[in-house]
Amino acid sequence: MQNIKQQRFCGREFTNKEISLIQAIIGTCGGISRYELAHTVCELLEWKRPNGRLKARECIDFLEILDAGGSLKLPEKKKSQRKSKKIIPEQYCRQPSVLRGSVEDFVPLEVQRVENQEQRNLFKMLLGKHHYLGYAMPFGARLQYLVYVSKPHLEVVGCVQFSSPAWRMRARDEWIGWTEERRKLALQQIVNNSRFLVLAPIKNLASVMLSCTLRELKKDWEQQYGLEPLLVETLVDHQRFHGGCYRASNWIKLGETTGRGRSDKTNRPNKALAKTIFVYPLVKNAIHLLKKGRI
């Protein structure tokens, strides 16, 4: 295996010594799964969330990046032992929905956090089939929600995903006004609305979905990751969408990205890929808390 220099991933700087330790762990711990390797690495490097849980999910992503670059060799992924795949009810695949009218005719909406395999299968299928970006495993932390109406019958009408924030965005960082050190400390108190899918042409459904899921997000994120979320961000492809539901829900437009993604290596702006940045404070003094912390 090749020697590699220190690397940054999900807000953490891995030193040369730590990278060498990871290589040694992979080389000596034969016969165990990627999941077990990730837990071993996290424990030895004390890579944990504020609530004390290991960052195993992020670690697996990092190990796979190192594997793809030839820096180490991970064990093969274990094949699933399931003999049959869960069948998604046909009505969930229907698009567009036959539901019409105003959202007032369908409230209250039912918001279900995605927690079991059946919900995950449904969420992935709906995004894969109906979202222009499809479904992709998000980096870092994440929470996903299915949104239903219960009348005239139970029907899923939307999918919402929240995940780890963008590492850097000039418009956002200048708006907050934090220092580099403070950004590193407080970044994970920002949450990214990385997927938003509306499945029924019900008037004002999108803005009500946003409101309902944000209420769930605040308590669920803190419970899951031990961090109070202070700000939600999202990126809207302005060549496809106006961002009307965010504007109607009082999200703040900050500007545009440079068009460089998480995996960009050219360090060059790309206007064709630029997105409009919207943010929504979850608490009144969100900027102060992100910039200075609690007194």
Residue 38 and residue 96 in one domain: no
- Ranked by mean pLDDT, which of 58-62, 71-75, 246-250 comes out on top? 246-250
The chain-wide mean pLDDT, for the chain, equals 84
- Ranked by mean pLDDT, which of 131-140, 176-185, 253-262 comes out on top? 176-185
Query: In whole angstroms, how far apart are CA 227 and each of 27, 49, 139, 233?
Result: 35, 9, 17, 16
More confident residue, 85 or 17: 17
- State the CATH number of the domain containing residue 139: 3.40.630.30
DSSP percent split of the chain into helix, strand, coil, nearest 5: 40, 20, 45
Does 1 map to a domain? no
| Sign of the dihedral through C-alpha 266, 271, 275, 281 | positive
- Give the confidence band of 4 by pLDDT, cuts at 50, 70, 90: low
Residue 119: burial class (beta carbons within 10 Å; 0-12, 13-18, 19+):
middle
More confident residue, 112 or 68: 112
Q: What is the mean pLDDT of residues 61-86?
A: 72
Which residues in 55-139 belong to E strands, given as ranges?
Answer: 110-113
Does 186 map to a domain? yes
Provide the pLDDT for residue 21. 84
Number of domains composing the chain:
2
Does 268 map to a domain? yes
CB–CB of 236/253 below 8 Å? no
Pairing of strands 231-236, 155-163: unpaired
**Range of the structural domain that residue 26 is part of:** 7-68
Residue 112 and residue 17 in one domain: no
Residue 125 and residue 53 in one domain: no
Residue 48 and residue 131 in one domain: no
Q: Does residue 19 carry a pLDDT above 80?
A: yes
Residue 44 and residue 152 in one domain: no
Q: Rounded to a whole number, what is the distance in angstroms from the first to the last CA of the chain?
A: 48
Question: Is there a cis peptide before residue 96, judged by omega within 30 degrees of 0?
Answer: yes
Residue 58 and residue 124 in one domain: no
Q: What is the mean pLDDT of residues 175-193?
A: 92
CB–CB of 259/270 below 8 Å? yes
Provide the pLDDT for residue 92. 53
